[in-house]
Amino acid sequence: MTLEEYILSHSDEEGELPAALNRDAHVNLLRPRMLSGHLQGRILKMFCRMLRPRRVLEIGTYTGYATLCMAEALEEGAMIHTLEINDEMEDFILKYVNRSPHKDKIQLHIGDAMKLIPLLDETFDMVFIDADKRLYPEYYDLVFPKLRRGGLILADNTLWDGKVLENIPASDKQTWGILSFNEKIKQDERIEKVILPLRDGLTMIWKK
């Protein structure tokens, strides 16, 4: 048994619907590794359980895996807005959202987060940044004024497969995006922050 198998077998189960989505994605989609998966899905759900956010924003839906996991823990009347630029994912996402008992808590927006975020008339308690790595600093600037004081931003992939420690060519725009985001977060005194070395790195950012 690997350590990962041990962790998963001593944590909550993945859940029937996320597991079905996960299998479907691995059989039918390109790049299924982009979805959060069992461990991170349960962690995101746990954050929602603990923080009891009324308004959640997810930037980068992909299959809706993390969306479903977070929605499981949202209370009555709470809502998650999730943004996805690739309209070809809409049918896949809705197939699973519509099977969820929590579907009324999920609002899918198809389009570019850079255009959609300014249009959202909400104050968020929790934000999950998980879209184009090149644009992390821009997503952060757009979303920060919409996050309430005491609210939490989670940013995924902030260790980017360890590339943050490597010599990166100028052409590797994704790694440069992550590096510049991490530097921006380090310098920002309006927040408290910590990088969890979970999976590909998950940064927790708390607004003072």
The contact set with ligand SAM (CB under 6 A) reads 34-36, 58, 60, 62-63, 65-66, 83-86, 112-114, 130-132, 135
Q: Which position's Cβ is nearest ligand SAM?
A: 60
Query: Shortest approach of ligand SAM to residue 189 CB, angstroms?
Result: 27
For ligand SAM, which is the closer residue by CB, 150 or 198? 198
End-to-end CA, the chain: 42
**Other beta carbons less than 10 A from residue 36's beta carbon:** 25
For ligand SAM, which is the closer residue by CB, 24 or 112? 112
Q: Is beta strand 124-129 parallel, antiparallel or unpaired with respect to 147-156? A: parallel
CA–CA separation, 191 and 147 (whole Å)? 11
Query: Shortest approach of ligand SAM to residue 14 CB, angstroms?
Result: 13
Q: Are 195 and 201 in contact (CB under 8 A)?
A: yes
Query: Shortest approach of ligand SAM to residue 80 CB, angstroms?
Result: 11
Beta-bridged to residue 110, according to DSSP, are 84
For ligand SAM, which is the closer residue by CB, 8 or 34? 34
For ligand SAM, which is the closer residue by CB, 24 or 77? 24
Query: Shortest approach of ligand SAM to residue 128 CB, angstroms?
Result: 7
Q: Are 48 and 25 in contact (CB under 8 A)?
A: no
For ligand SAM, which is the closer residue by CB, 19 or 192? 19
Query: Shortest approach of ligand SAM to residue 42 CB, angstroms?
Result: 12
CA–CA separation, 112 and 24 (whole Å)? 25
Tokens, residue 199:
């999976």
Q: Are 147 and 106 in contact (CB under 8 A)?
A: no
